[in-house]
Structure 1
Amino acid sequence: MSRTILTYGLVSGTIIILGMISTIVLSAQHSLWLGYLIMLVGLSAILLAIKSHRDRTLGGVIRFWPALLIGLGVAVVAGVAYVAIWEAYLALTHYRFMDDYTASILAAKKAEGLSGAAWDKLVAETAQMKRNYANPLYRMPMTFTEIFPVGALVALVSAALLRNPRFLPART
């Protein structure tokens, strides 16, 4: 079971982070919906991991709690892989991400005509955001919490669906 969790978790985390990095590299516009779609595609490995364990190891039948634990295990491994690869990406790009991100926020608000006290407040908030993000003890858990709740939700739904042996039945 741990091999299944590790394998599918690493595949999931790698798919997600490569999708996220490609959207950053290829486009200046970051879509929240595109990010969650990439996460769902990568986290579909949770469903595949539970199904694989159910069909290959358990003869096509699994109870809810063991299925949920496998799903959560895959979500944790995917989250750790996501954080590790994101940290490597940040190091390779000399931690430019937050500078570029806050600059794009400021440019967009300036183009909208923000000025005065509201502008000064936004500048202060983005400066604080950059200081916080520079701290790995802040950045790494925050990065993990971007993905893990989605993984937990996918694990919950997958476990509920796959406990029924008629849902995607094992092939003989």
Structure 2
Amino acid sequence: MKKTILTYGLIGGVISTIGYVITLLTGQENMKSAMIIGFASMFVAFSLIFVAIKSYRDKQAGGVVSFGNAFKIGALMSLITSSIYVIVWLVALYNFFPDFAQHYADMQIEDMRQAGESIEKINLQIAENEKMVEAYKNPIVVILYTYMEILPIGLLFSLIAAAILRKKSKNNTDELKSWLKSQE
């Protein structure tokens, strides 16, 4: 199980960072496009959870995996994938996007102006953005924000995959049916 988790978690981590790589290589100035690419790479990375659980179930566990073990595989893979994502983001942020927080805040305000939001709402958002830009100067906050961005998606994929791919032993089912009949 450990090898499956580590292998697929590392592959997922590499895939999850493709959005950063594409953004860096293309000089992507459009933050919305970069975000779409980034989230798409997360979804592809976390799709490996299904592959890993099925591989473990079919090749290592004799065709049987409980919901708990399946979720454990997915959750630990998510943690590895998310950690790689966070580390790469820290490197990218401090080396290539040092003004990211301010740029993101400015984009939000511009979007609100284009949408015709009231001055009051825009001013409230500006105040919130100033707090966020200040908070983003702290690496611990950056780490926590980044984990909050990716880890819940991985955990959701883990829950779904565990629910879909769990498979009980037929022997246990047959034994349970026999026992229930004997109790009648």
- Partner Cα separation in structure 2 for residue 125 and residue 157 of structure 1: 34
- Aligned to 1:26, the other structure's residue is in SS state coil
Contact 2:53 2:73 in 1 (8 A): yes
Contact 2:18 2:41 in 1 (8 A): no
Flag the structure with larger Rg.
2
Corresponding residue of 2:101: 98
- Partner Cα separation in structure 1 for residue 97 and residue 149 of structure 2: 22
Pairs within 5 Å for 1:79-158: 79-112=82-115, 118-158=121-161
Contact 2:63 2:167 in 1 (8 A): no
Moved more, 106-115 or 133-142: 106-115
Unpaired runs of 5+ residues, structure 2, are 169-184
Pairs within 5 Å for 1:1-80: 1-19=1-19, 22=22, 25-26=27-28, 28-30=30-32, 35-80=38-83
CA drift at 1:37 = 3.8
Alignment TM-score, normalising by the size of structure 1: 0.81
Which has the bigger relative contact order, CA under 8 A and spacing at least 6? Answer: 1
- Partner Cα separation in structure 2 for residue 77 and residue 113 of structure 1: 42
Alignment TM-score, normalising by the size of structure 2: 0.76
The percentage of counterpart residues that share the same residue type is 34
- Partner Cα separation in structure 2 for residue 118 and residue 69 of structure 1: 43
Deviations 1:10-57 (A, max 9, x none): 211221222255358435151676654432221011111111211221
Moved more, 57-66 or 25-34: 25-34
Unpaired runs of 5+ residues, structure 1, are 166-172
Relative to structure 1, the CA distance from residue 150 to residue 111 in structure 2 (aligned partners, 3 Å threshold; closer, same or farther) is closer
Contact 1:20 1:38 in 2 (8 A): no
RMSD: 2.6
- Partner Cα separation in structure 1 for residue 47 and residue 14 of structure 2: 13
